């Protein structure tokens, strides 16, 4: 089974802190994704990576950056955390070999981040 793990299930940080969220997948997937999920807004894509050191902005990249130095690891960085970044953060990965219409994404358990 594909396994996507995230470094923390719950995290509490203060406004202005730099926050690192780590995601690791064990299936040699090409693609990795960071989403955030908020009530009433569904899942929104923050960043996407299709290869090591490659990244693409999603729908809401402002206030975030990412790093993918190794294929299995994709990090989300909040440069200066703000209260409006309180959310559930979900990492996902997918093969990326097939077309977008058949690609299946596998999600981690999520990190619930609270910024005070």
Partner 1 sequence: DAKTTQPNSMESNEEEPVHLPCNHSTISGTDYIHWYRQLPSQGPEYVIHGLTSNVNNRMASLAIAEDRKSSTLILHRATLRDAAVYYCILRGDTGFQKLVFGTGTRLLVSP
Residues 55-74 that bind partner 1 (CB under 8 A): 56, 58-59
Q: Are strands 111-115 and 10-13 parallel, antiparallel or unpaired?
A: parallel
Residues 11-30 that bind partner 1 (CB under 8 A): none
Alpha-carbon distance values, 19 to 22, 26, 41 (Å)? 10, 23, 23
**CA pair distance 54, 70, nearest whole angstrom:** 11
Q: Which is nearer to partner 1, 9 or 14 (CB)?
A: 9
Among 42, 53, 69, 84, binds partner 1 (CB under 8 A): 42
DSSP state of 62: T
Q: Which residues bind partner 1 (CB under 8 A)?
A: 4, 31, 33, 35, 42-43, 45, 48, 50, 56, 58-59, 90-92, 94, 96, 99-110
């Amino acid at each position: 089974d594909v396994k996507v793990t995230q470094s923390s299930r719950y995290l509490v940080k203060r406004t202005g802190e730099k926050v690192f969220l780590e995601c690791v997948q064990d299936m040699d997937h090409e693609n990795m994704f960071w989403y955030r999920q908020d009530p009433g807004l569904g899942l929104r894509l923050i960043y996407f990576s299709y290869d090591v050191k490659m990244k693409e902005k999603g729908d809401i990249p402002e206030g975030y950056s990412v790093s993918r130095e190794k294929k299995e690891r994709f990090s989300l960085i909040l440069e200066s955390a703000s209260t409006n970044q309180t959310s559930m953060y979900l990492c996902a990965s997918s093969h990326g070999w097939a077309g977008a219409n058949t690609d299946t994404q596998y999600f981690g358990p999520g990190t619930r981040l609270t910024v005070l």
